[in-house]
Structure 1
Amino acid sequence: MTGKRSPASLLPKRPAPRAARLTRVVPVLMLLCAWSGVRAQEWPFELWHEGKIVLLEGDTLRGLVKYDLQQDVLQYNGASGQKVVAYSARKVLFFEIFDNTVHRYRQFFALPFNTPAGYKSAVFFELLEEGKMTLLAREALEYRTYNNPYSYYASSRLVLVYKYFFMDDNGKIEEFTGDKRDLLDLMGKNADDVEKYIKTNRLKVDEKYDFAKIIAYYNSLYGT
C-alpha cells in the first residue's frame, strides 16, 4: 500500500469550516426565535385594560375592560374580586380603554352595520378619525404566509390585521377596499395634496396609525 493514496472515504474528516456551520445553524436559530416570539405574543383583546363603558341605558362603568370584536362582546370587572359581567354590542353605546400594547387611548362605538346574513346589527368599531371623512376599524387574527430568506419553504404566521371602514354623515358604513388609488379618488380635488402629504411623510395606507394621519390631514383641509 506504500505510495498509494488512501480513498477519500477513509481519510479523517475535517471539521466543517465555521462559515459553513453557521449557514446551517443560523436559519434554525431564527426559526426558533420566531416561534418563541409568536408563542409569547399577547394580543390586545386577550388583555384586561383600564377603561370605561357607557351603556345604552346611560350608565357609565369604570374599571377593567376586555373586548372581543369577533364576537362583539365586552367583559367588565369593576373591582378586585367582583364578578365579571359581559355585555353585547346591543347593550353598549361606547367604550374606551388605555391600551398598554400601543401606549394610547382607544375609543370604540357600537354602530348598526349590515351583517353577512343581510340584516343590521350593532357592531363594535374603533374610531380612528372623525370629521369630513370618518375612519373606523375592526381587527381580527389571520394566518399570513411569508417567504423565509434562509429557507426554500414559506412560513405561516398568525398576525393581527385591520379592516377599515368609512362612515358618511348619514351613518352609512362602507368597507374600504385597501387600495391607495381608491382612497385618492374619494378625496376629489384634494387628492394631489393628500398624495403629496403621504409621500413627504412616507405614510402607508395599510398601517393603522399612518392611515389615521392621512385622514386627519384630509379633514384639516376642510377645517375639521
Structure 2
Amino acid sequence: MKNTIKLTILTLGIWIMGMGMTQAQDKFPSQIWHKGNIYDTEGQAFSGLVKYDLDNNLVQLQNETIITFTASNVAYFEIYDELYGGIRKFYSLPYSLNGDYETPVFFEVLTEGKDIALLCREYIATDSRNMGAWGPVGMNPFWGPQNMMGYRLAFNYYFFKDNQIQRYSLKKKDLYDMLPGYDDEISLFMRKNRLEHDKRGDLLRITAYYNELSKN
C-alpha cells in the first residue's frame, strides 16, 4: 500500500511538472515572468521576477509588489529565459521607431564588438501558414521560427554602427553593406557553416565572426 501511495505521489508530481512546462511553452517569452534584474538610470539594481513589453517599451518587476518601469528610467535589464535558455540583455537606447523623433526604446543585444553590435526587437506575428497548429514548433537555443496556435515569434534586426542604430532589411546584399570590408570572408563563412542571412542564430554567428575579423 505504501509503495502504491509513493508511486501515485511521484506520478502526480511528474504530471504537475509536465503541466507547468506545457503551460509555459504555450506562451511566448514576453508573456511569462523570468528571473532577472533591472538597472535604472540612477544605477540602482532591482532583482526579482521580470516581465517585458517591447510593444510599449515597458518592463515590470514582481517582488513583494509589481513595479512598472519605462524605457526612459531604465538603463538596461537582464533575464534568465528558462523557456529558450540563456541570459538575455535589453538596453534602453534612443531611436525613432515611427520616423518622427527619437525616444528611449528597448533593444535586445545579441552580440557586440568594438565597432558593431547586433540588436533585435521581437514581436508576435500572425502566421496564417500554421493556423490551427497547437503548441510550440522548432524550439531551439538559436531561436528559429516559434509557432503557437497560428502565431509566431518574429524579429526586427538592427546594427549599431557609427554611433547609429540602423535597421537591417533582411536582404542579403544589405548584410554586406552593414558588415563592410570582408565580403569574401563572410560569404565563405556562411557557405561552410550553412548560415542564412535572415535567421537569429545565424546572424549572431555572422556578426560575431565579423567582429573577430575586424580586430585584426
TM range (shorter): 0.7 to 0.9
Paired residues, what number? 177
Q: Deviations over 1:172-218 (max 9, x none)?
A: 11110001121023333311110111111111222212110110001
Instruction: Give me the whole-angstrom Cα distance separating, in 2, the residues matched to 1:178 and 1:218.
Output: 17
Q: Deviations over 1:70-121 (max 9, x none)?
A: 111011013xxx1100001101001011101211110110000013150111
Q: Which moved more, 1:110-119 or 1:51-60?
A: 110-119
Asked if 1:158 is matched to 2:171, the reply is no
State which of 185, 205, 216 in structure 1 corresponds to 2:208.
216
State which of 83, 90, 103 in structure 1 corresponds to 2:65.
83
The 8 Å contact of residues 111 and 125 in structure 1, kept in 2 or not, is answered as yes
The 8 Å contact of residues 184 and 195 in structure 1, kept in 2 or not, is answered as no
Instruction: Give me the whole-angstrom Cα distance separating, in 1, the residues matched to 2:61 and 2:108.
Output: 18
State which of 101, 106, 120 in structure 2 corresponds to 1:137.
120
Higher Cα radius of gyration: 1
Please give the residue correspondences for 1:40-189 in structure 2 after superposition, counting only pairs within 5 Å.
41-78=26-63, 82-116=64-98, 118-131=100-113, 132-146=115-129, 157-170=150-163, 172-189=164-181
Please list every run of 5 or more consecutive structure 1 residues that lacks an aligned counterpart in the other structure. Answer: 1-36, 149-155
The 8 Å contact of residues 205 and 211 in structure 1, kept in 2 or not, is answered as yes
TM-score (norm: length of structure 2):
0.76
Question: Structure 1: which 4+ aligned runs deviate by more than 6 Å?
Answer: none
TM-score (norm: length of structure 1):
0.73
Identity %: 34
Instruction: Give me the whole-angstrom Cα distance separating, in 2, the residues matched to 1:103 and 1:185.
Output: 31
Instruction: Name the SS of the counterpart of 1:164 in structure 2.
Output: strand
Partner amino acid for 1:69? L
Relative contact order higher in (CA < 8 Å, ≥ 6 apart): 2
The 8 Å contact of residues 38 and 74 in structure 2, kept in 1 or not, is answered as yes
The 8 Å contact of residues 185 and 191 in structure 1, kept in 2 or not, is answered as no
The 8 Å contact of residues 130 and 150 in structure 2, kept in 1 or not, is answered as no
Please list every run of 5 or more consecutive structure 2 residues that lacks an aligned counterpart in the other structure. Answer: 1-21, 132-148
RMSD: 2.2
